Structure 1
């Protein structure tokens, strides 16, 4: 009969199911695992489950220790709330050594406000420059890192001082050509994103910028060296410019001006890029959800 199971068959079935699930997990690259752990930890942090959040933040950091300063700071806040000051200090110092955490961000991160009187904050602030030096000592190509920094600084300077637009375009062209040369020799530099972003007006066109960067970055994504969501903002900007509508809901404060295309499936599209659902963005960052949006999978996505 259908309800009569052989125990041995059941054990084999469950073993195969477990191996299938494990195999699916193993097929994820480190960036995908990193994002899942980070998102799960952020939800736990918001639910004040600080010990769990700390564990998952640290697991993510172990996968990608140089990826993002924010994850270190939230991990630190988790440790502080869990009354683990030694771990908090360790994480803060690591954030500077591994990500070049800016001092302004360190001094103004809101989740630290209740703990500013702790001795560890004064100690780290007093030694900040030596910690920054450690970051540069660990770099393989510190001169290139500093040069990309200078490209970004020039990019912002010409936009903030009223420079004539023709001159802005000229400097943008010089910057992107230099970034191409640097990428060819040293690989993608994360801080170069802003220089590339200011080429977004021609995104997808047949020109020397995209003929180099699109296949190069696509290949890095396939290899698991860069996040799947790299092009999401470029695609979003292109859709807004051309169709006056969003694809992924990345412009949170412009839902009325630029509504989301096929909003019922927006979380599915976001998931394909490794982006969390919009309900997550509401819970973690307090965004106002767009009209017509319905939460889906809120109780199962991060279980």
Structure 2
């Protein structure tokens, strides 16, 4: 009995630590969204004293540190992110959060380290196709970054929003033609052929396309997930978007919308809200409450179920 008590005590400590880590990261993310970068860095430091294995959390922490002019921490956390599996070289180069670091001598060293790591990982990749997809990724995400900066401004400039929106639509059309050619000729190529980011690019371009193209390539992506050539979480996002566009409720709660009357964001209508976290876990997505928090949406399951009929009217759900 004594040995069992010790085991349960140790397991309890691990559980408490894991929860503390999660809470610190959530608070850090919340502070980041509120542009309180100093507090965000403080909470990330607390979290990383417990563990520092998540490449995404380390990367996000580096962004907060860079925006807080804490260059030493930013580079330390970027270095750890790379060591723990961060691979998105196209994104790191265009991320506006990291622009304060570009003029520092450590920046080139960081990019070189990531590049060398990717060269080792991608020794057998289709280099030409990977390069093309990384360029498409840059085109897709760079313009969206510009759009969101204007859209989220305290006083959004409608003319600028419309102007950037037109440019974004044009780029999307060009990128879609390129990606459709790849999909039609080679299928949904996996990360073993074009790397994680190249594979992700296929999803992003289709996710940003018109419904008819999403409907066309959704079965192909489903088949790719079964073969391990696409991310199940990405597929969930595409399935949800298609469902809503077809006038149906979403499955995983990955899509949100803005109520123009109240000016508040909400989770778009979904099936069986009581079991959404179970469905999300099956495809590698976190709890709906965490997603809602990241979107600055107040989440209460019982209130959501009461509001669902009204939300369905807002989005013309059948």
Structure 2, unaligned runs of 5 or more = 32-38, 144-166, 207-212, 259-264, 306-318
Q: Structure 1, residues 99-149: CA drift from partner, whole Å, max 9, x if none?
A: 4212442346xxxxxxx7xxxx4753x664554344323323383542321
TM-aligned CA deviation for residue 236 of structure 1: 1.2
**Given the alignment of the two structures, is residue 147 of structure 1 paired with residue 128 of structure 2, yes or no?**
no
Q: Which of residues 71, 74, 82 in structure 1 aligns to 2:61?
A: 74
TM-aligned CA deviation for residue 176 of structure 1: 1.7
Tell me the matched-pair count. Answer: 244
> Larger deviation: 183-192 or 268-277?
183-192
Q: Which of residues 286, 289, 293 in structure 2 aligns to 1:276?
A: 286
Paired with 1:152 and 1:264, the residues of 2 have a C-alpha distance of 36
Q: Structure 1, residues 180-208: CA drift from partner, whole Å, max 9, x if none?
A: 48538636533332324515323553xxx
Paired with 1:178 and 1:153, the residues of 2 have a C-alpha distance of 22
Using a 3 Å threshold, how does the CA distance of structure 1 residues 18 and 188 change in structure 2: closer, same or farther?
A: farther
> Larger deviation: 262-271 or 97-106?
97-106
**Given the alignment of the two structures, is residue 60 of structure 1 paired with residue 47 of structure 2, yes or no?**
no
Partner residue, 2:154: none
Q: Which of residues 246, 249, 255 in structure 1 aligns to 2:253?
A: 249
**Given the alignment of the two structures, is residue 264 of structure 1 paired with residue 251 of structure 2, yes or no?**
no
Using a 3 Å threshold, how does the CA distance of structure 1 residues 179 and 189 change in structure 2: closer, same or farther?
A: farther
Q: Which of residues 240, 243, 248 in structure 2 aligns to 1:239?
A: 243
**Given the alignment of the two structures, is residue 89 of structure 1 paired with residue 75 of structure 2, yes or no?**
yes
**Given the alignment of the two structures, is residue 137 of structure 1 paired with residue 110 of structure 2, yes or no?**
no
Q: Which of residues 226, 233, 236 in structure 2 aligns to 1:229?
A: 233
Instruction: Name the larger-Rg structure.
Output: 1
What are the equivalent positions in structure 2 for 1:201-216 lying under 5 Å apart?
A: 201-203=215-217, 205=219, 209-210=220-221, 213-216=224-227
Paired with 2:215 and 2:225, the residues of 1 have a C-alpha distance of 14
SS at match of 1:186: helix
Using a 3 Å threshold, how does the CA distance of structure 1 residues 173 and 37 change in structure 2: closer, same or farther?
A: farther
Using a 3 Å threshold, how does the CA distance of structure 1 residues 164 and 279 change in structure 2: closer, same or farther?
A: closer
TM-score (norm 2): 0.54
Paired with 1:237 and 1:148, the residues of 2 have a C-alpha distance of 23
Paired with 1:231 and 1:211, the residues of 2 have a C-alpha distance of 7
TM-aligned CA deviation for residue 216 of structure 1: 1.7
Using a 3 Å threshold, how does the CA distance of structure 1 residues 182 and 274 change in structure 2: closer, same or farther?
A: closer
Using a 3 Å threshold, how does the CA distance of structure 1 residues 182 and 241 change in structure 2: closer, same or farther?
A: closer
Q: Structure 1, residues 41-88: CA drift from partner, whole Å, max 9, x if none?
A: 422424856232233562323xxxxxx4x642325637998x986443
Q: Is the 8 A contact 2:252 2:270 kept in 1?
A: yes
**Given the alignment of the two structures, is residue 193 of structure 1 paired with residue 200 of structure 2, yes or no?**
yes
Paired with 1:154 and 1:285, the residues of 2 have a C-alpha distance of 24
TM-aligned CA deviation for residue 249 of structure 1: 1.8
Partner residue, 2:93: 102
Q: Which of residues 268, 285, 304 in structure 2 aligns to 1:293?
A: 304
Greater relative CO, 1 or 2 (CA 8 Å, sep 6+) = 1
SS at match of 1:58: coil
CA RMSD after TM alignment: 4.9
Q: Structure 1, residues 21-51: CA drift from partner, whole Å, max 9, x if none?
A: 89xx9xxxxxxxx9x9985442242485623
TM-score (norm 1): 0.57
